[in-house]
Chains A and B, each alone.
Chain A
């Protein structure tokens, strides 16, 4: 589910750092640099990541993405992955082993050789595989400095943060209750250290 669909799940991040003065121009060339590029045919690459349009994950031309709608920057993080089904790998590996045994008149193949064959088969199947595409939307409010990102997965969040920093030259830090509290106290001109005065609520069990 995505930002433009009927249901959306997202995590939030604070953006750390100031926007460059000429951000509209700078961001356009940065997004183009890190825009998603299709894997070459017959490539052994298993995974590729990059930016695409939030309206269409197959739109990777920056001039057509429509990523800047002030005060928002909106993009989708597209990830293409190739996957070899385990049963297919097993089947083709067994066939390849049988062919090698016949060709070399061997009754038995040592483990190291079997692993070599398996790797070679896997590589061949990866090259032939058609990638699956997944999209995770991002909406960044330039005025509030908050990014909403369409995944709560920690590993994916790290990958997203890394690409965001490479692209925009700014750092992301996740929003969580304690951090949100710090931010709210700072905005109110109160001492952020007060968050550390808060301990877990006492027992709710009746004393009687």
Chain B
């Protein structure tokens, strides 16, 4: 099977991940403790695009981050997150980027303001940017690994999914 076909066939992995990430961020006030990255904050910042599965041409719903009720309604209608802009903070560093559910490509990555332009130090600039970009990628990969571990364990059905469903239907205690 061609790579693109496999990516399309398994896009639900990315959609479920982004939907779960939004839920975790909203219900945990955006605060996480990851094994490798340590204390990290993540929140959805800007419009969230939701779409039904197997319907690439079907209507997408774009909700602003403040319109959580509207977004939750879209989730109950079988739509899941296909695109989102996220803000990530780890220590003094903060990034903004877009993610999509099909490839988990990083779109419009804006690096921490600590990056300085020192024109005479090309190598220094390169290494600093590489470090910061890879740090962001590492954090997102760690979130994905966490999601995967949960998703493939018994805990998903017993604990996590019921909480996610309660959040979507507005009946969680964390509102």
A interface, CB within 8 angstroms of B: 1, 3-4, 6-12, 54-55, 66, 69, 72, 74, 139, 141, 148, 152, 154, 173-181, 184-185, 194-195, 197-206
Q: Which of B71-121 contact A (CB under 8 A)?
A: 75-78, 80, 98, 100-111
Q: Is the CB of A176 within 8 A of B76?
A: no
20 chain-A/chain-B pairs, Cβ below 8 angstroms: A7-B110, A8-B106, A8-B133, A9-B98, A9-B105, A9-B109, A12-B104, A72-B126, A139-B130, A152-B103, A175-B103, A177-B104, A177-B144, A179-B7, A180-B104, A184-B148, A198-B151, A201-B161, A204-B165, A204-B168
Q: Is the CB of B109 within 8 A of A8?
A: yes
Q: Is the CB of B106 within 8 A of A10?
A: yes
A residues in contact with B77, CB < 8 Å: 205
The 6 closest A-B pairs by CB, nearest first: A178-B10, A200-B12, A177-B14, A177-B13, A176-B7, A206-B169
Any A CB within 8 A of the CB of B33 = no
| CB of B36, distance to nearest CB on chain A (Å) | 13
Q: Is the CB of B7 within 8 A of A178?
A: yes
| CB of B79, distance to nearest CB on chain A (Å) | 9
B16 interface neighbour in A148, A173, A174, A201, Cβ under 8 Å: A201
Given known contacts A1-B108, A176-B7, A180-B141, what 15 new A-B pairs fall within 8 Å (CB)?
A9-B105, A9-B108, A9-B109, A72-B130, A139-B130, A148-B133, A176-B3, A176-B10, A178-B13, A184-B148, A185-B148, A194-B152, A200-B15, A201-B80, A204-B76
**Taking CB as reference atom, which chain A residue is nearest B170?**
A206
Any A CB within 8 A of the CB of B17 = yes
B residues in contact with A141, CB < 8 Å: 130, 134
B residues in contact with A205, CB < 8 Å: 76-78, 169
Any A CB within 8 A of the CB of B123 = yes
Q: Is the CB of B125 within 8 A of A4?
A: yes
Any A CB within 8 A of the CB of B129 = yes
How far, in angstroms, from A181 to B3 measured CA to CA in the complex? 15
B residues in contact with A152, CB < 8 Å: 100, 103, 105, 107
Q: Is the CB of A176 within 8 A of B110?
A: no
Q: Is the CB of B4 within 8 A of A154?
A: yes
**Taking CB as reference atom, which chain B residue is nearest A149?**
B105
| CB of B162, distance to nearest CB on chain A (Å) | 11
A174 interface neighbour in B11, B17, B103, B168, Cβ under 8 Å: B103
Q: Is the CB of A66 within 8 A of B104?
A: no
Any A CB within 8 A of the CB of B51 = no
B residues in contact with A181, CB < 8 Å: 13, 144, 148
B residues in contact with A178, CB < 8 Å: 6-7, 10, 13
B78 interface neighbour in A7, A66, A203, Cβ under 8 Å: A203
B residues in contact with A175, CB < 8 Å: 103-104
B residues in contact with A173, CB < 8 Å: 3
How far, in angstroms, from A72 to B125 measured CA to CA in the complex? 14
How far, in angstroms, from A80 to B49 measured CA to CA in the complex? 35
A residues in contact with B141, CB < 8 Å: 180, 184
**Taking CB as reference atom, which chain B residue is nearest A188?**
B145
**Taking CB as reference atom, which chain A residue is nearest B142?**
A184
